[in-house]
Chains A and B, each alone.
Chain A
Amino acid sequence: MNLGYYPGCSLHGSSDDYQQSLKACFSALGVSLKELDDWICCGATAAHSLNHKLSIALPARNLGLAAQQGCNELLAPCSMCSLQLKKAQKAIAGDPALAAEMSRIVEAKPDGARVLNLVEAFERVGLETIKTAVKTPLADFKVACYYGCLLTRPPKVAEFDDCEQPESMDKVVEALGAKAVAWNYKTECCGAGMTMASEETVLELSHKILADAAAHGAQSIAVACPMCHVNLDMKQAAIEARYGTKYGMTIYYLCDLVGLALGLTPQALGINRHFAGRKA
Chain B
Amino acid sequence: MNAKMQSDSISLLESLAQTKLADCYQCGKCTAGCPRSAHMDKTPNQLIRMVQLGDVDAALKTDAIWQCVSCETCTARCPKNVDCAAIIDALRQVSYERGMTSKQQAAVVLFQKAFLASVRRNGRVNEIEMIAQYKIEGFAAMRRLGFLFDGAMLAPQLQMHRKLHILGEKVRDRDLVRRIFARCMDGKA
Contacts and interface: CB of A to CB of B under 8 A. Distances in A.
Interface string B79-115: 0000101000110110010000000000110111101
A225 B71 CA distance: 13
Give 8 nearest A-B pairs by CB, closest first. Answer: A189-B71, A46-B115, A197-B111, A153-B72, A54-B184, A9-B125, A46-B112, A149-B71
Give the interface size class of chain B.
Answer: 35 or more
Contacts of B9: none
| Dominant SS among interface residues on chain B | helix
A70 interface: no
Contact of B35 (A51, A53, A189): A189
B70 A48 contact: yes
B32 interface: no
A44 B108 contact: no
Interface of A: 9, 12-17, 38-41, 43-55, 57-58, 61, 91, 104-107, 149-150, 152-155, 163, 187-189, 191-194, 196-199, 201, 205, 234, 273-275
Contacts of A155: 76
Interface stretch (B20-28, B47-55, B149-157): B149-157
Nearest to B111: A197
B83 to A, nearest CB: 8
B48 to A, nearest CB: 16
A13 B158 CA distance: 11
Contacts of A234: 154
A193 to B, nearest CB: 8
Interface in B108-140: 108, 110-113, 115-116, 119, 123-125, 127, 131, 134
Interface of B: 16, 18, 35-36, 39, 67, 69-73, 75-76, 83, 85, 89-90, 92-93, 96, 107-108, 110-113, 115-116, 119, 123-125, 127, 131, 134, 150-151, 154, 157-158, 161-165, 168-169, 171-173, 176-177, 179-181, 183-185
Contact of A149 (B72, B89, B107, B158): B72
Given A38-B173, A51-B93, A61-B180, A201 B164 contact: no
Contacts of A193: 69-70, 111
A84 B39 CA distance: 27
A84 B162 CA distance: 28
A54 B185 contact: yes
